[in-house]
């Protein structure tokens, strides 16, 4: 069985991943271009000091990845740390170690120390955004309802547009990532 360090060694850079995206690329870059990493809260300094590596389990069709990857990438760049991406569906052995409520939810961010040990994990979604998604999904018709599929598709489109345009969502991602990773690194 491959270790997380082996996956990291074989992974592509987050820049290469985003440059090669075929789905939600423009949307991801709108967030990347618009997000500015706070520099006065000590988080970037902590990352610079600890120098973890970030292994991202992702796919370019995922709306949460569209939102989270550009923000975490900006953080990694500001701290000068290495962030790489592996595709969840190319090898499910890795994601199966990090299931969310029994499912292969993405993106998942694994922080590795210099020996390749996992010292922190974050993802797939900030709690405020999880609550928002759960609330919005509750308004969908029953799965057996003929209108369900179309309503779900419209809901996902609405959520994706909000993820792109609502900068408070970006702050939710940054703040929860900072909180979880700071706790893991101290």
Q: 4-126+167-185 in CATH: which number?
A: 3.40.30.10
Q: Report the alpha-carbon distance of residue 36 to residue 124 in Å, rounded.
A: 21
Question: Which of helix, strand or coil describes residue 75?
Answer: helix
Cβ-Cβ contacts under 8 Å for 100 (sequence gap 6 or more):
108, 123, 124
Cβ-Cβ contacts under 8 Å for 163 (sequence gap 6 or more):
27, 31, 63, 66, 67, 169
| Tokens standing for residue 70 | 């550009």
Binned at pLDDT 50, 70 and 90, residue 176 comes out as very high
Please give the mean pLDDT across all residues of the chain: 97
Which residues share a beta bridge with 86? Answer: 57
pLDDT for the residue numbered 12 = 98
Tell me the pLDDT tens digit for each residue of 68-96. Answer: 999 999 999 999 999 999 999 999 999 99
pLDDT for the residue numbered 62 = 96
Average pLDDT over residues 168-175: 98
pLDDT for the residue numbered 179 = 97
Q: Report the alpha-carbon distance of residue 132 to residue 130 in Å, rounded.
A: 5
Tell me the pLDDT tens digit for each residue of 109-151. Answer: 999 999 999 999 999 999 999 999 999 999 999 999 999 999 9
Task: Label the pairing between strands 53-58 and 83-87.
Answer: parallel
pLDDT for the residue numbered 116 = 95
Sketch the domain layout of the chain as residue ranges: 4-126+167-185
pTM above 0.75, yes or no: yes
pLDDT for the residue numbered 68 = 98
- Report the alpha-carbon angle 17-181-83, nearest 5: 20
pLDDT for the residue numbered 186 = 85
């Amino acid at each position: 069985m491959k270790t997380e360090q082996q996956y990291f060694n074989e992974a592509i850079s987050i820049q290469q991943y985003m440059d090669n995206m075929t789905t939600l690329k423009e949307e991801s870059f709108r967030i990347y271009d618009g997000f500015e990493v706070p520099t006065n809260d000590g988080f970037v300094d902590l990352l610079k000091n600890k120098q973890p590596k970030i292994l991202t389990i992702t796919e370019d069709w995922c709306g949460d990845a569209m939102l989270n990857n550009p923000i975490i990438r900006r953080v990694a760049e500001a701290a000068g740390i290495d962030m790489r991406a592996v595709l969840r569906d190319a090898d499910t052995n890795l994601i199966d170690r990090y299931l969310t409520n029994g499912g292969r939810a993405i993106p998942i961010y694994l922080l590795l120390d210099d020996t390749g040990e996992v010292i922190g994990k974050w993802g797939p979604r900030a709690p405020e955004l999880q609550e928002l998604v759960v609330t919005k999904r509750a308004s969908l018709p029953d799965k057996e309802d003929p209108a369900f599929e179309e309503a779900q598709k419209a809901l996902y489109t609405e959520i994706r547009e909000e993820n792109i345009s609502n900068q408070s969502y970006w702050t939710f991602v940054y703040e929860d990532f900072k909180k979880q990773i700071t706790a893991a690194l101290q």
